[in-house]
Amino acid sequence: MNMFIERVLSGMRPTGSLHLGHYHGVLKNWIQLQHEYECLFFVADWHALTTHYDNPHLIEQSVWDMVLDWLAAGVDPAHATLFIQSRVPEHAELHLLLSMMTPLGWLERVPTYKDQQEKLTEKDLSTYGFLGYPLLQSADILIYRANQVPVGEDQVPHIEFTREIARRFNHLFGREPGFEEKALLAVKKLGSKKAKLYHELRTRYQEQGDDEALESAKALLNEAQNLSLGDSERLFGYLEGGGKMILAEPRALLTAAAKMPGLDGQKMSKSYHNTISLREDTDSVVKKIRTMPTDPARVRRTDPGDPAKCPVWALHQVYSSEQTKQSVVQGCTSAGIGCIECKQPVIDAVLEEQKPMHERAKPYEEDPTLIRNLIADGCEKARELAQETLRDVREAMGLNYS
């Protein structure tokens, strides 16, 4: 196993049950990532409180349902660490410490801050917690030194912000006394050949801004077996000219914007009341799709229709083979098929997709202690990682008196 396997972290806010839009937009991606990386997925309950502080019961209920939905979808606790944010209080301590050095202007400039305030007018979001939302997210990410963060487009500024926070932190607190000397000693430990190469690459990067040299030097460090963690961090820091790298800058792993259409042709979203939930029962799925609106021009069975004007067609795009789609276009435009007939393959495909989800969910539904236990395990694992980072952060900030 590769020791330097990249770490992926992502969180989801528990504000209601999950639907097929979450599956196609987010969970399918997580499920793939869990086999390729070390993955941490968490329930962002504190984040939910920043916008839903007036309805904590919704959050409480959603937490366990959401984890159950993840498991149903195929997130596998044997491959990914699943936990709840508020059960790892280290996130809060890091958030507090980072808040000391976070310029207010940086937070006010995050686009989601004004957007959400304008959009959610029924809520008072001029709160301290809501302004600090992106910083809490930074703490979530930085506390695990996560390299990659799968998010949607709207969250990319939060990852950018996190990178700036990490840089600022390392710049302010990453200098230990005698850093340069220690770094030079650490270079020697690479062995003379690699040490020479490291110096060359560092010079090329620092004097000519050669990114390739930077990447090669990083690869060299990643492969070096005999370095202590401290020396390894010093060498990464020395390479880029800063101090010791205490917090790692993450990258956004942009999830291809799978816009899952809802029952009315708009994007599937709880606020449009056009969803099919992940574990919706069969009868309800059938009924919802059977009663979906179709091309309004098809009043009678004998009227030809235009798939482009029909929400059912949007679902065929997600679920149907080329062949089925061809026969839909042919049948619809010539009034050769009726809408009920046209909907059947979509119904079948959705039920087929959900079948394994119901099966995976069953043991957890029957015995709720299973979920409680696997989350307890996940929280414990996450805490260990979080405590390690926090130790370094406290030390760097001069808070390790004992």
In terms of CB distance, is 125 or 312 closer to ligand TRP?
125
* Nearest-angstrom CA–CA distance, 230 and 253: 27
Tokens representing 319?
């679920």
**Cβ atoms of residues 153 and 105 within 8 Å:** no
Does residue 44 touch ligand TRP according to CB under 6 A?
yes
Q: Match 């990067």 to its residue by tokens.
A: 205
Q: Tell the smallest beta-carbon distance from residue 368 to ligand TRP (Å).
A: 25
Q: Least Å distance between CB 266 and ligand SF4?
A: 16
Of 16, 150, 305, 345, the one binding ligand SF4 by CB under 6 A: 305
Contact 36, 148 (CB under 8 A): no
Tell me: does residue 347 bind ligand SF4 (CB under 6 A).
Answer: no
Half-sphere exposure of 80 (CA within 13 A, CB side): 26
Shorter beta-carbon distance to ligand SF4: residue 85 or 294: 294
Binding ligand TRP (rule: CB under 6 A), the pick from 10, 50, 51, 277 is: 10
Cβ proximity to ligand SF4: between 5 and 297 the closer is 297
- DSSP letter, residue 26: I
Asked whether position 46 contacts ligand SF4 by CB under 6 A, the answer is: no
What long-range pairs does 380-384 form, CB within 8 A, spacing at least 24?
381/81, 381/83, 382/40, 382/42, 382/81, 382/83, 382/88, 382/144, 383/87, 383/88, 383/90
Q: For residue 83, list its beta bridge partners.
A: 42
**337 lies in the site for ligand SF4, by CB under 6 A:** yes
Tell me: does residue 263 bind ligand SF4 (CB under 6 A). Answer: no
Among 69, 140, 231, 233, binds ligand TRP (CB under 6 A): 140
If contact means CB under 5 to 8 A according to the sort of partner, which of ligand TRP, ligand SF4, none does residue 378 touch? none
Q: What is the enclosing helix (H) or strand (E) of 158?
A: helix 156-173
In the set 213, 252, 312, 382, which binds ligand SF4 (CB under 6 A)? 312
DSSP per-residue codes, 49-96: HHHHTT-HHHHHHHHHHHHHHHHHHT--TTTEEEEEGGG-THHHHHHH
Which residue of 141, 268, 292, 386 would you call a contact of ligand TRP, by CB under 6 A? 141
Tell me how far, at minimum, the Cβ of 319 lies from ligand SF4, in Å.
13
Provide the phi-psi class of 74: left if phi over 0, else alpha when psi is between -120 and 50, else beta: left
| Residue with smallest beta-carbon separation from ligand TRP | 11
Cα-only R_g, the chain: 25
Is the separation of the CB atoms in 11 and 42 below 8 Å?
Answer: yes
Residue 342 binding ligand SF4, by CB under 6 A: yes
18 binds ligand TRP, rule: CB under 6 A: no
Nearest to 238, CA basis, from 206, 270, 193: 206
Residue count at the site for ligand TRP (CB under 6 A)? 12
Q: Of the ranges 134-142, 167-175, 222-230, 319-327, which one interacts with ligand TRP (CB under 6 A)?
A: 134-142
**CB nearer ligand SF4, residue 228 or residue 333:** 333
Residues at the interface with ligand SF4 (CB under 6 A)? 294-295, 298, 305, 307, 310, 312-313, 328, 332, 337, 339, 342-343
Binding positions for ligand TRP, rule: CB under 6 A? 9-11, 13, 44, 47, 137, 140-141, 149, 151, 155
